[in-house]
Amino acid sequence: MTELAAPLALPRRDPALIEYLQQRRSAPAQALAAPGPSAADLDAILSIGLRTPDHGKLFPWRLVVLTPDTRAALSHALSPLADDQPDPDKARAVLAKLTAPPVTIMVVSTPVRDHKVPVWEQELSAGALAMNLSHAAFAHGFSASWITDWYAYDPRALSLFGIGEDERIAGFIHIGTLETPPLERPRPDPDRHVAVR
């Protein structure tokens, strides 16, 4: 006999959560510094991240926590590839995003091909997972930045990250602490981007 799962709590109005969502802002990855999440915090952040919408329960993604040593080695290996980018100096500079933050989680989209759930929906699930990780980091008192940069698309870089033929990097979630609050950025005007029909 299958054991039924315990019911979850129903949603309730949460003013603190509303305020956070109204003010959520990505952090500049290069500015993220220690302290970062503890091992227990990181486990909780990962668990929350995995509670993401997923049509078909396919789990069409995987997470890789990149250690500081791994990121330093990757940055060193990626540096020569920067010479082939349209702006080599900028391409080298953004490698600091990979090495500066205390914690980096690579979100990899791993869609199941030839399935009734379209690949596009599975890829959207990987994006939702990345956003969940960002929210979870903030809930634990940290700032986060979800980025890709050129090395998420360069085929030679992908092999360095261990990305398979049918996989794509959905993003790197960098987590740490900011010394000063980030500045607000321009936001879209709802009147221009929202329609009611």
Domain limits at 136? Answer: 29-181
Q: Is 113 annotated as a binding residue?
A: no
- Asked, for residue 8, whether it belongs to a domain, the answer is no
Half-sphere exposure of 89 (CA within 13 A, CB side): 0
Of 39, 52, 48, 10, whose CA–CA distance to 136 is shortest? 48
Q: Give the chain's mean pLDDT.
A: 95
- Write out pLDDT tens, residues 74-111: 999 999 999 999 999 999 999 999 999 999 999 999 99
Task: Look at the chain and report how many structural domains it folds into.
Answer: 1
- Which two three-digit tokens encode residue 22? 């109204």
Q: Is 159 annotated as a binding residue?
A: no
- Write out pLDDT tens, residues 109-144: 999 999 999 999 999 999 999 999 999 999 999 999
Which CATH number goes with the domain that contains 73? 3.40.109.10
- Asked, for residue 89, whether it belongs to a domain, the answer is yes
Q: Is 51 annotated as a binding residue?
A: yes
Question: Which helix (H) or strand (E) segment is 136 a member of?
Answer: helix 119-139
Write down the residue that tokens 């500045």 correspond to. Answer: 183
- Asked, for residue 6, whether it belongs to a domain, the answer is no
Q: Is 185 annotated as a binding residue?
A: no
- Asked, for residue 45, whether it belongs to a domain, the answer is yes
